């Protein structure tokens, strides 16, 4: 039985992976190197799609915390106060308000303070 070498299917698969590896640095025109680099790159891409969400959330929290402290609240107290006041706003939108709408953020901060005061009075 004759040995089956790479026919049109293999060539097509190799060309597809070499095309994906175009623009990579080094000897990436060689199939073996291109394939291993491509696998590594796809692994990083998958991992970093998850990490991107984490990074943005921590950025939003830092922005909210910075402005909340100007109104005499910490980040956690601000979020707790908003929850107790029944304000449903996510951190992304809160961070946008902190940057662009200072007056509206001030109103939210005062709402959070009032809700915290009411909760403490009810607990006492």
Per-residue pLDDT of the chain (124 residues; tens, 9 = 90+): 788 787 899 999 999 999 999 888 877 789 999 999 999 999 999 999 999 999 999 999 999 999 999 999 999 999 999 999 998 999 999 999 999 988 999 999 999 999 988 888 887 6
CATH of the domain at 113: 1.10.1900.20
**Same domain, residue pair 44 and 65:** no
**Same domain, residue pair 45 and 86:** no
Q: Indicate the number of domains in the chain.
A: 2
**Cα dihedral 17/20/25/26 (nearest 10):** 10
Domain assignment of residue 22, given as a range: 15-50
**Same domain, residue pair 111 and 64:** yes
8, part of any domain = no
């Amino acid at each position: 039985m004759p040995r089956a070498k790479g026919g049109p299917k293999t060539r097509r698969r190799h060309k597809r992976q070499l095309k994906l590896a175009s623009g990579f640095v080094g000897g990436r025109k060689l199939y073996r190197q291109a394939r291993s680099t491509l696998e590594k790159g796809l692994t990083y891409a998958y991992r970093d799609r998850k990490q991107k969400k984490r990074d943005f959330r921590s950025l939003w929290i830092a922005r909210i915390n910075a402005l909340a402290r100007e109104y005499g609240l910490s980040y956690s107290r601000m979020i707790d106060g908003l929850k107790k006041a029944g304000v449903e706003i996510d951190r992304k939108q809160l961070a946008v308000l902190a940057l662009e709408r200072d007056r509206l953020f001030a109103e939210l901060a005062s709402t959070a303070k009032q809700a915290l005061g009411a909760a403490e009075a009810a607990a006492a």
